[in-house]
Amino acid sequence: MDQTLNCVGWLFGPPAHAGGTDFITKMDLHAHPHRRYNPLTREWVLVSPQRTDRPWQGQVEEAPPSKLPEYDPTCSLCPGNERAGGVRNPRYAHTFVFDNDFAALRPDTPAERYEDGVLIAEAEPGVCRVVCFSPRHDLTISAMEPADLRQVVDVWVDEFRELGRMPLITSVQIFENRGAMMGASNPHPHCQIWAEKSLPNEVLKEVNSQRDYRARHESCLLCDYVSTELEKEERVVCQNEDFAVLVPFWAVWPFETLVIGRRHATGLDQLSDSERDSLGGILKQLTSGYDSLFDAPFPYTMGFHQRPTDGEDHLECHLHAHFYPPLLRSATVRKFMVGYEMLAMPQRDITAEQAAARLREVSDKL
Ligand code: H2U
Ligand code: ZN
């Protein structure tokens, strides 16, 4: 595919040797520093593909342990064990959901607002839960059986429905932190659910962008995006009947991916029986690919974005999952979001296309 754009190639006026409009260069997305636009957040990311070979003498992380026991007597999530709050887990055989003992949000919070000039605060009622994927301490999504993964998907659907129906709750965030590098407190396979009154920043940006896009184009932003990517192919990592995984054009993290349904669904609860199986399948395929990229358990934060649960249809919202892995060039070298990223905007070196090619290579071998 032709990744170049015609553009006038001078910044400070034409050089002496440039005669009229002859001095036209091509912007090469694989060679020239450029900005890419994220239509979901309406923010930009700086891409510096010329910088990938720079030497690295910075921090090297400890490689994660590759072998864990099936049961860990000291794990607060294993079946039959006592949790930090003193409650004992049941001897669960498949999945297990409980209210977070150290919840960041509480349902009994009075919904009030504080305002004193520029000092503004709002109470935020909500519910935090933990979902254990399996009784096995050593399993990850990549190692789970399809039937067991299907049960995890069913729990996500049930929780989205139940929490979304609660009065006051407009946002249900289902997310997994995997690996100590991403702040997971425990290797036992689990995710968290935070359901709350307000739409959090990232969700609000995406909902508003999708709403405006639908109003302007009379179509869905992510339906249009996934069909563009499936046609172009170069950023597609893997796909099945119902879902595609791609490194988004505007990816920030080196091996960031987006899991998108081919069919328009606004939430997990709208997936058909076979789509639920497909979702489990594509997550297994993607996480197996991640694990084989550096031949080590791959840390990430992943989570679903679904429609707000305020009772409206939100037809503009297209169910998707973001995977944000921090690793850059090996199991021990991570990308840092510091300096320019904290003070200005995100920046990446390896292009989305290079990342997709590497992930596709490992996924194809599985
Ligand atoms: P993370 O690994 O992503 O931190 O998730 C684990 C969650 O489990 C965390 O939010 C909760 C923590 O509060 N937890 C309990 O509720 N009870 C426990 O006994 C241990 C951990
Ligand atoms: Zn455990």
| HEC per residue, the chain | CCCEEEEECCCCCCCCCCCHHHCEEEEECCCCCEEEEECCCCEEEEECHHHCCCCCCCCCCCCCCCCCCCCCCCCCCCCCCECCCCCECCCCCCCEEEECCCCCCCCCCCCCEEEECCEEEECCCEEEEEEECCCCCCCCHHHCCHHHHHHHHHHHHHHHHHHHHCCCCCEEEEEEEECHHHCCCCCCCEEEEEEECCCCHHHHHHHHHHHHHHHHHCCCHHHHHHHHHHHHCCCEEEECCCEEEECCCCCCCCCCEEEEECCCCCCHHHCCHHHHHHHHHHHHHHHHHHHHHCCCCCCEEEEEECCCCCCCCCCCCCCEEEEECCEEEECCEECCCCCHHHHCCCEECCCHHHHHHHHHHHHHHC
| Protein residue with least CA distance to atom 3, ligand 1 | 184
| Protein residue with least CA distance to atom 7, ligand 1 | 130
Q: Given this model, what pLDDT does residue 13 score?
A: 54
Compute, in angstroms, the gap from residue 297 CA to the centroid of ligand 1.
20
Give pLDDT tens digits for 176-198: 999 888 888 899 999 999 999 99
**Residues 243, 231: Cα–Cα separation, whole Å:** 14
Compute, in angstroms, the gap from residue 68 CA to the centroid of ligand 2.
10
| Protein residue with least CA distance to atom 11, ligand 1 | 100
Give pLDDT tens digits for 151-182: 999 999 999 999 999 999 999 999 999 988 88
Q: Given this model, what pLDDT does residue 63 score?
A: 64
Compute, in angstroms, the gap from residue 185 CA to the centroid of ligand 1.
7
For residue 81 and ligand 1, the question of a CB distance below 6 A is answered with: no
Q: How confident is the model at residue 29 (pLDDT cuts 50, 70, 90)?
A: very high
Q: Given this model, what pLDDT does residue 59 score?
A: 63
Q: Highest mean pLDDT range out of 54-58, 230-234, 333-337?
A: 230-234
Mean pLDDT of 215-244: 98
Which amino acids are annotated catalytic?
Answer: 190
Q: Given this model, what pLDDT does residue 295 score?
A: 87
Q: How confident is the model at residue 76 (pLDDT cuts 50, 70, 90)?
A: very high
Is the per-residue pLDDT at 227 higher than 80?
yes
Q: How confident is the model at residue 58 (pLDDT cuts 50, 70, 90)?
A: low
Q: Given this model, what pLDDT does residue 4 score?
A: 47
Is the per-residue pLDDT at 6 higher than 80?
no
Mean pLDDT of the chain: 91
Compute, in angstroms, the gap from residue 258 CA to the centroid of ligand 2.
29
Q: Given this model, what pLDDT does residue 210 score?
A: 98
Mean pLDDT of 12-40: 74
For residue 84 and ligand 1, the question of a CB distance below 6 A is answered with: yes
Mean pLDDT of 37-50: 95
Q: For the chain, what percent of residues have pLDDT higher than 70?
A: 89
Q: Given this model, what pLDDT does residue 17 score?
A: 53
Task: Give the atom of ligand 1 at the shortest distance from the alpha carbon of 186.
Answer: 2
Q: Given this model, what pLDDT does residue 2 score?
A: 45
For residue 101 and ligand 1, the question of a CB distance below 6 A is answered with: yes
For residue 130 and ligand 1, the question of a CB distance below 6 A is answered with: yes
Q: Given this model, what pLDDT does residue 85 score?
A: 84
For residue 184 and ligand 1, the question of a CB distance below 6 A is answered with: yes
Structure tokens at 199: 């739409």
Mean pLDDT of 105-128: 95
Is the per-residue pLDDT at 330 higher than 90?
no
Q: Given this model, what pLDDT does residue 8 score?
A: 47
- Of residues 192 and 53, which shows the higher confidence score? 192
Q: Given this model, what pLDDT does residue 7 score?
A: 47
Q: Given this model, what pLDDT does residue 289 score?
A: 96
Give pLDDT tens digits for 277-313: 999 999 999 999 999 998 888 999 999 999 999 999 9
